[in-house]
């Protein structure tokens, strides 16, 4: 009786197991790596209208505080984008030395026409998730924690994944992530003087991470309805 199956087929179960295992591992790791906001969202950098707004120049080099433009971040859940009038506070004609050299005529046009500039949203949490800015700022969460080193971005891009797991990482370890409330918008200081140090070495004007957590009075919430309602 001739053999129904050639001998090499004996290896099939083994090979199959290896291939299957390999496929399983690649699917899992592939999903793990690619199918996440970490991969898809981080680095999102839409093109802004006109010449855009250079945060590196304004917030970094010129040192304008975040709250100069995002005025309501301490009092409202929504951090507002400034009106064109805010731009014109500096950029109206004859206000700055060498004002003609700056390419901001498109802003002046919008101002003259009283038309809005269509900024494109970079940081987006889904409609079913609510993120209140004011509470985070009051608690001592630096802009840096979610938006990255804005003071070094000529064009703003998404620096963090803004995924739920990422939110919870912070809510579960407030000690590692809180900064002294008076330094919340001082992003360069926050990056270089605070987060660069080990948690136990951080100290500013008598404030330690431990003291910051103590001052919260209310543990960062981890239940669904804190954000989803």
Q: Which positions from 22 to 61 touch another protein by CB under 8 A, shown as an x/- string?
A: ----------------------x-x---------------
Minimum Å gap between C-beta 155 and another protein is 15
* Residue 199 or 226 having the CB closest to another protein: 226
Query: How far apart (Å, rounded) are the C-alpha atoms in residues 167 and 147?
Result: 13
Min dist. Cβ of residue 202 to another protein (A): 23
* Interior angle at CA 160, CA 156 and CA 163, nearest 5: 130
From 1, 4, 205, 224, residue interacting with another protein (rule: CB under 8 A)? 224
Rule CB under 8 A: is residue 119 a binding residue for another protein?
yes
What residues does 204 pair with on adjacent strands? 207
**Hey, CA dihedral for 120, 126, 130, 132, is it positive or negative?**
negative
Q: Is 217 in the site for another protein (CB under 8 A)?
A: yes
Stretch that binds another protein, among 6-14, 20-28, 108-116, 191-199 (CB under 8 A): 108-116
174 near another protein, judged by CB under 8 A: no
Contacts of 99 (CB under 8 A, 6+ apart): 91, 93
Distance CA 160, CA 27 (A): 24
Q: Minimal CA–CA distance to 208: which of 161, 156, 140? A: 140
- From the list 15-23, 113-121, 141-149, 198-206, the region that binds another protein by CB under 8 A is 113-121
Residue 182's contacts (CB-CB under 8 Å, 6 or more residues apart) are 205
Q: According to CB under 8 A, which residues from 85 to 104 bind another protein? A: 85, 88
| C-alpha to C-alpha distance for 51 and 48, rounded to whole angstroms | 7
- Minimum CB distance to another protein, residue 61 (Å): 23
- Spell out, one character per residue from 193 to 212, where the chain touches another protein: x when CB under 8 A holds, - when not: --------------------
178 has which bridge partners?
Answer: 141
* 82 belongs to the binding site for another protein (CB under 8 A): yes
**Rule CB under 8 A: which of 61-80 touch another protein?**
72, 74-78, 80
Burial 165-196, CB ≥16 within 10 A → b, else e: ebbeebeeebeebbbbeebbbbbebbbeebbe
Q: Where do contacts with another protein occur on this chain (CB under 8 A)?
A: 44, 46, 72, 74-78, 80-85, 88, 110-121, 124, 126-128, 130, 132-135, 138-139, 217-218, 221, 223-226, 228-229
């Amino acid at each position: 009786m001739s053999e129904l199956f050639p001998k090499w087929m004996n290896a099939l179960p083994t090979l199959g197991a290896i291939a299957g295992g390999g496929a399983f591992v690649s699917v899992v790791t592939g999903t793990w790596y690619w199918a996440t906001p970490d991969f898809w969202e981080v680095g999102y950098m839409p093109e802004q209208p006109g010449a855009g707004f250079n945060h590196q120049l304004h917030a970094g080099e010129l040192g304008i505080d975040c709250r100069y433009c995002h005025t309501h971040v301490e009092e409202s859940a929504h951090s507002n984008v400034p009106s064109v009038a805010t731009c014109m506070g500096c950029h109206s004609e004859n206000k700055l030395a060498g004002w003609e050299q700056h390419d901001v005529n498109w802003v002046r046009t919008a101002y003259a026409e009283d038309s809005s500039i269509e900024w494109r949203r970079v940081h987006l949490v889904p409609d079913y998730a609510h993120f209140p800015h004011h509470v985070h700022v009051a608690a001592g969460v630096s802009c840096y924690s979610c938006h990255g080193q804005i003071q070094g971005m000529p064009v703003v891009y998404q620096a963090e994944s803004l995924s739920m797991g990422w939110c919870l990482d912070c809510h579960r370890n407030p000690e590692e992530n809180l900064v002294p409330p008076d330094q919340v918008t001082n992003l360069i200081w926050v990056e270089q003087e605070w987060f660069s140090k080990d948690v136990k070495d951080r100290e500013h004007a008598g404030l330690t991470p431990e003291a910051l957590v103590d001052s919260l009075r209310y543990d960062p919430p981890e239940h669904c309805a804190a954000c989803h309602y």
